[in-house]
Amino acid sequence: MAHGPAFETNSAVVKWIDDRLPIFSLIHGSLGAGYLAPRNLNYWWNFGSLAGLCLVIQIVTGIVLAMHYTPNTLMAFDSVERIMRDVNYGWLIRYMHANGASMFFIAVYIHILRGLYYGSYKAPREMLWMIGLVIFLLMMATAFMGYVLPWGQMSFWGATVITNLFSAIPVVGDHIVTLLWGGFSVDNPTLNRFFSLHFLLPFVICGVVILHIWALHLPGSNNPLGIDAKGKGDKIPFHPFYTVKDAFGVGVFLIFFSLFLFYAPNALGHPDNYIPADPMVTPDSIVPEWYFLPFYAILRSITFDIGIPFTDIVIIPAKLLGVLAMFGSILLLFALPWLDTSKVRSAKFRPTYRIFFWFLVVDMVILTIVGGKKPEGIWPVVGLIGTAYYFLHFLVVMPLLGKIEQTLPLPESIAKACVKKA
Amino acid sequence: MSTIENTVEGDDGVNRRDFLHVAAAGFGAVGAAVAVWPFIDQMNPAADTLALASIEVDLSKIAVGEGVVVKWRGKPVFIRHRTAAEIEEAKAVDVGALVDKQTDAERVLPGKEEWLVVLGVCTHLGCVPLGTKTGDDRGEFGGWFCPCHGSHYDTSGRIRKGPAPRNLEVPGYAFASDTVLKIG
Ligand code: HEM
Ligand code: FES
């Protein structure tokens, strides 16, 4: 198990507190020398702590923004411009928040891909994986509602298109949309509730992150070899080894973040969001933030109904099918621990899976590009193929590959594999 | 334990205590559900939002072949003064071949065929279709074109091509006089 030496202290005060509220023991046992982690974690294991840092950055900057922001359709846009121009360092804090959201998604996407590559979603870490997906869904909801707050053209029309997705639900769809809006269109009641929820959800995410770490610390971290770390010399104390490694990652991350923050703060945003929202004019094209593009591409790729051939009877209209495909593409990941039938975790020992993994990455990049294009010319076809491949990967390739793939021999233990290399 | 020993059991092994447990839990569940409802319903449109007054539009300045956009309940409404050719085109369509089968007559007031009044909200995902301003792209069927995902509407506001599932909605309206239209 993941337990190292128990917490010890020379300070009578610390001991007195710890006997009554074992908070120092808790920290020692989960982030200190008391927590043992595999000795061979590589830099892909840095992105969990980086995602945590992003959450902290979003909350701190968000609370400050909320001190100056006004959630009212008549004043929201101007209040954000005031933050940019008049509030001391307001520009910095808003750019940190807006770019911080992108950094958060970059960190989390790499974190998820790490899990896919090294098989971290497999037994005994299924709950850990699924809780991670819950965090991802909450993040998407939070970021979507945050983007509505500045009340620019993309805010308004993004909100209109996304809330209208729910109208695809049979029978109750239109009622749900009215309920979400609190009116007959995206308007002041919508902005108010989005602000309230945008404030709340990050704290819900904090709670779920604690569950995530709890579920992590039972089996302990997976590792690049994907084998269980239970042999002698397989593990090292989290502190100082991984606290230092994570801190180094934070330094590199802050440099990357600063490049956007200080040199290209609007590179990841859409210029139309600097035009105040106008319910009477739809922008030339509605593009979501970059981190939603693959899913937006999946949504738009479906333009055909499913019905009984040679009749007019439609079973699933195109609009509903698109919505189902989009939500399905994420919900599918909850089933991944069981869709993947391979006994071997790490792609290091799965030569064929390794190729398919990179195909999937390329597919996601293509879908991201398609999601940003107008649905004209070649793009709808590319989007449809990309969508089909995405589902094929998880529903066909993963189950079959585990059965037929010739995996490479696994090392006996982490310690053996590491020492041999040195 | 003593409470259990003291309970009278029926022939089927169910006793009064079981009944009390189920009844109490059921009562609590119904109560909780009732208490939740206000918290859901508060999200629905408030009384003042619902009370948004109807609007009146002066039609006298809209020349034949032109259109206007007015705002009603926070949404755009398209009013088009159709040409004779546009009306003919709308009537000539084979209704059986439409996605959302409606004749032109079902979408205008009798005797007022020249006025087409529809919500300017694409039935796909809610964009405002182009085609009201002169010079706009009116799509392949001379009505409106939604640039968001490429839906084409005809001169009766019916969906003809693209992902939108339904015709542009016709709001409730009436003529207050020959030149004044009342929506809502
Ligand atoms: C999971 C963490 C969070 C994410 C991913 C996130 C994301 C976003 C995004 C994408 C925007 C739009 C930025 C723009 O284009 O201007 C935004 C705006 C905003 N957020 Fe957050 N946010 C988070 C946490 C918070 C928290 C905890 C608060 C406050 C308690 C907050 C308050 C605000 C405010 C007031 C705005 C509007 C001002 C502006 O647009 O810059 N956010 N958020
Ligand atoms: S919103 Fe009009 S085509 Fe999608």
Expressed in angstroms and rounded, the spacing between residue A58 Cα and the centre of ligand 1 is 7
Please, which residues have CB within 8 angstroms of residue A77's CB and are 6 or more apart in sequence?
Answer: A150, A151, A152, A276, A277
Question: Using an 8 Å Cβ cutoff, are A24 and A32 in contact?
Answer: no
Q: Is the pLDDT of residue A35 over 60?
A: yes
Predicted local confidence at residue A421, as pLDDT: 54
Predicted local confidence at residue B10, as pLDDT: 64
Q: Is the pLDDT of residue B6 over 60?
A: no
Catalytic residue, from A234, A272, A289, A340: name it. Answer: A289
CB pairs under 8 A between A and B: 83
The ligand minimizing its distance to the Cα of A167 is: 2
> Of all protein residues, whose CA lies closest to atom 41 belonging to ligand 1?
A94
Please give the average per-residue pLDDT across A148-169, as a whole number. Answer: 93
Predicted local confidence at residue B82, as pLDDT: 94
The question of whether B149 is a catalytic residue gets the answer yes
Give the DSSP H or E segment for A195.
Answer: helix A188-217
Angle between helices A90-118 and A238-258 (to 10 degrees): 130
Q: Is the pLDDT of residue A60 over 70?
A: yes
Minimal-distance CA residue of chain A relative to B129: A282
Expressed in angstroms and rounded, the spacing between residue A287 Cα and the centre of ligand 1 is 18
Tokens of A281: 């004019």
Q: What is the pLDDT of residues B37-81, one digit of tens each?
A: 999 999 999 988 887 768 899 999 999 989 999 988 888 999 999
CA–CA distance from A326 to each of A13, A133, B163 (Å)? 55, 15, 16
Please give the average per-residue pLDDT across B96-100, as a whole number. Answer: 88
pLDDT > 90 fraction of chain A, expressed in percent and rounded: 82
Predicted local confidence at residue B78, as pLDDT: 95
Please, which residues have CB within 8 angstroms of residue B8's CB and are 6 or more apart in sequence?
Answer: B15, B16
Answer yes or no: is the ipTM higher than 0.85: no
**DSSP assignment, residue B153?**
E
Q: Is the pLDDT of residue A248 over 70?
A: yes
Q: Which residues of A touch B120 (CB under 8 A)?
A: 280
Please, which residues have CB within 8 angstroms of residue B117's CB and are 6 or more apart in sequence?
Answer: B77, B78, B79, B108, B170, B171, B173, B181, B183
Please give the average per-residue pLDDT across A93-118, as a whole number. Answer: 98
Q: Is the pLDDT of residue A269 over 60?
A: yes
Q: How many whole angstroms separate alpha carbon B71 and alpha carbon A109?
A: 42
Q: Which residues of B touch A376 (CB under 8 A)?
A: 150
Please give the average per-residue pLDDT across A57-71, as a whole number. Answer: 97
| pLDDT confidence band for A189 (50 / 70 / 90) | very high
> Of all protein residues, whose CA lies closest to atom 1 belonging to ligand 2?
B125
Q: Is the pLDDT of residue A145 over 60?
A: yes
Which of B54, B69, B98, B148 is best to mutate for the A interface (most A CBs within 10 A)? B148
Phi/psi for A9 (5° steps) reads -150, 150
Predicted local confidence at residue B1, as pLDDT: 46
Tokens of A26: 């808790």
A261 versus A312: which is more confidently predicted?
A: A261
* A82-86, A205-209, B27-31, B130-134: the lowest-pLDDT one: B130-134
Please, which residues have CB within 8 angstroms of residue B49's CB and are 6 or more apart in sequence?
Answer: A182, A183, A184, A189
* Residue whose C-alpha is closest to residue A50's, from A242, A183, A201: A242
Predicted local confidence at residue B3, as pLDDT: 52
Q: How many whole angstroms separate alpha carbon A131 and alpha carbon B107?
A: 51
Q: Is B121 in the pocket of ligand 2 (CB under 6 A)?
A: no
Minimum-distance CB partner of A164 among B73, B125, B128: B125
Q: Is the pLDDT of residue B5 over 60?
A: no
Phi/psi for A284 (5° steps) reads -50, -45
* Residue whose C-alpha is closest to residue B77's, from B165, B150, B173, B155: B173
Q: Which residues of A touch B169 (CB under 8 A)?
A: none
Q: Which residues of A touch B44 (CB under 8 A)?
A: 178-179, 182
Predicted local confidence at residue B8, as pLDDT: 62
Predicted local confidence at residue A1, as pLDDT: 42
The pLDDT mean for chain A works out to 94
The pLDDT mean for chain B works out to 88
The ligand minimizing its distance to the Cα of B146 is: 2
Q: How many whole angstroms separate alpha carbon A303 and alpha carbon A380?
A: 9
Check CB contact of A284 with chain B, cutoff 8 Å: yes
Residue A60 sits at the vertex; the CA angle it makes with A58 and A63, to the nearest 5 degrees, is 100
Q: How many whole angstroms separate alpha carbon B34 and alpha carbon A218?
A: 40
Q: Give me the residues of A, 167-186, that contact B with CB < 8 A.
A: 178-185
3-class DSSP assignment, residue A316:
strand
Tokens of A417: 């594999």
Predicted local confidence at residue B52, as pLDDT: 73
A121 versus B111: which is more confidently predicted?
A: A121
- Exposure string for A72-105, b = 16+ CB within 10 A, e = fewer: ebeebbebbeebbeebeebeebbbbbbbbbbbbb
Q: How far is A186 from chain B (nearest CA, A)?
A: 8
Q: Is B127 in the pocket of ligand 2 (CB under 6 A)?
A: yes
Which of B40, B149, B159, B183 is best to mutate for the A interface (most A CBs within 10 A)? B149
Atom of ligand 1 nearest to the CA of A69: 35
Q: Is the pLDDT of residue A313 over 80?
A: no
Q: Where are the beta strands (DSSP E) in A155-262?
A: 235-237
Q: What is the pLDDT of residues B149-182, one digit of tens each?
A: 789 999 999 999 888 889 999 999 999 998 899 9
Please give the average per-residue pLDDT across A405-420, as a whole number. Answer: 89
Question: Using an 8 Å Cβ cutoff, are B108 and B116 in contact?
Answer: yes
Question: Using an 8 Å Cβ cutoff, are B57 and B177 in contact?
Answer: no
